[in-house]
Amino acid sequence: MADPQQAERDYFSNEPPPKDLQANVTLAREFIQRHGDAGRRLVLVTSGGTTVPLETQTVRCIDNFSAGTRGATSAEFFLRQGYAVVFLHRQFSLLPYSRHYSHNTRSFLDYMREEDGRVVVDEQHQADMLHVLRQYTNVKREGRLLILSFVTITEYLWDLREVAQLMRPLGPRAMFYLAAAVSDFFVPRDRMVEHKIQSNDEFSQAADGAHGTGRPPAARTEGRKLVIDLEPVPKFLKQLVDGWAPDGIIVSFKLETDPSILVKKARYALNKYSHHLVIGNLLSTRKWEVVFVSRLEGEKWIRVPEHRRTKSFSGVPSLVGSADASARQDQSEPSQS
């Protein structure tokens, strides 16, 4: 198996940092310092799916499934418990608080009407919106939520590494709650073509090298077929646990579609990375059941009782951040991930 430290050096020396990395680091440093000095607990919540671009000037990419419901909802619960939250999310995926009114089949304008030349919230939505608005306003006033965004796997990993290292001095007061759906395969920079991949042979770029490296492009047309040959993304959970934040509390998620392997794979991850908790979920039931797998407590299922599986706007029942969550918490179901 490849040495994880070498894999980290190789990855970050080959894949250039995102343009907004320094700006993100400046914001995160101030935020972490301020809340660290105030003795507050901090959590980095990652949310949404990472993409794998196929071209440098990206027209096409491979996306990872996630709407950001788990991350955005959980962030609200952490904020309610007094945490300061760094919310590292996929651009345009769900956000804490606004998620109640975005990404569903209704427009946010449907919650409003005109009255005497002014915009007002409809009577039927007043109570719910006031409840959400009060929480949001409190969090904003206390400056307890920092929102950062990524799109690609490489942007995500650069941000994760930098923020984790900034949180390192907080020791166990820092938590990492990794709900983002992270790509396992990618196109390395030196195997990525510059321009849009052409479907017509006559316009195809030379298939004998990307960026003049001599390495074959990872995505190319052969005849009329698109051939994609991805490479593995190193599992950076190992580096997070051992190097970037060794004293932090680390919670990872495990997403599967086959129920028969979920717990086995969650246990395997816990043993392999030696962190604190793996939360397993199945794609089809993730809205109302999860399994916690930890060394201290073994395997523990948390389920929203049948009668609380209320329908959201799109008819999908919901699991929110804790077992006693109320039905109002997850009313948004995005139209796409």
As measured in angstroms, the least distance from the Cβ of 133 to ligand PMT is: 23
Sorted by sequence, the CB contacts under 8 Å of residue 130 that are 6+ apart come out as none
| Choices 22-30, 68-76, 81-89, 126-134 (CB under 6 A): range interacting with ligand PMT | 68-76
Please select the residue that binds ligand PMT; options are 68, 217, 248, 321, rule is CB under 6 A: 68
| Choices 55-63, 66-74, 80-88, 242-250 (CB under 6 A): range interacting with ligand PMT | 66-74
Query: What is d(CA 193, CA 218) in angstroms, rounded to the nearest whole number?
Result: 8
Judged by beta carbon, residue 219 or residue 241, the one nearer ligand PMT is: 241
Secondary structure element (H or E) that encloses residue 33, with its range: helix 21-37
Judged by beta carbon, residue 220 or residue 276, the one nearer ligand PMT is: 276
List the x/- string, 186-205, binding to ligand PMT by CB under 6 A.
Answer: --------------------
Rule CB under 6 A: say whether 69 interacts with ligand PMT.
yes
Which residue, among 43, 322, 280, has the nearest Cα to 330 in the 3D structure?
A: 322
List the x/- string, 253-292, binding to ligand PMT by CB under 6 A.
Answer: xxx-------------------------x----x------
| Choices 35-43, 98-106, 214-222, 248-256 (CB under 6 A): range interacting with ligand PMT | 248-256
Q: Around Cβ 155, how many Cβ atoms within 10 Å?
A: 24
Judged by beta carbon, residue 70 or residue 144, the one nearer ligand PMT is: 70
Sorted by sequence, the CB contacts under 8 Å of residue 212 that are 6+ apart come out as none
Rule CB under 6 A: say whether 252 interacts with ligand PMT.
yes
As measured in angstroms, the least distance from the Cβ of 76 to ligand PMT is: 13
Rule CB under 6 A: say whether 236 interacts with ligand PMT.
yes
Secondary structure element (H or E) that encloses residue 29, with its range: helix 21-37
Judged by beta carbon, residue 221 or residue 252, the one nearer ligand PMT is: 252
Query: What is d(CA 305, CA 288) in angstroms, rounded to the nearest whole number?
Result: 8
Rule CB under 6 A: say whether 231 interacts with ligand PMT.
no
Instruction: For the chain, give percent helix, strand, coil, nearest 5.
Output: 35, 25, 40
Sorted by sequence, the CB contacts under 8 Å of residue 2 that are 6+ apart come out as 234
Rule CB under 6 A: say whether 241 interacts with ligand PMT.
no
- The beta-strand segments (E) located in 283-332 are 289-294, 298-303
Query: What is d(CA 320, CA 61) in angstroms, rounded to the nearest whole number?
Result: 30
Applying CB under 6 A, the site for ligand PMT has a residue count of 20
As measured in angstroms, the least distance from the Cβ of 236 to ligand PMT is: 4
Query: What is d(CA 147, CA 96) in angstroms, rounded to the nearest whole number?
Result: 10
Burial of residue 31 (number of CB atoms within 10 Å: 0-12, 13-18, 19+): buried
Rule CB under 6 A: say whether 70 interacts with ligand PMT.
yes
Strands 185-186 and 231-232: antiparallel
Query: What is d(CA 32, CA 40) in angstroms, rounded to the nearest whole number?
Result: 9
Please select the residue that binds ligand PMT; options are 189, 215, 235, 328, rule is CB under 6 A: 235
Binding site for ligand PMT (CB under 6 A): 66-70, 178-179, 181-182, 184, 233, 235-237, 252-255, 281, 286
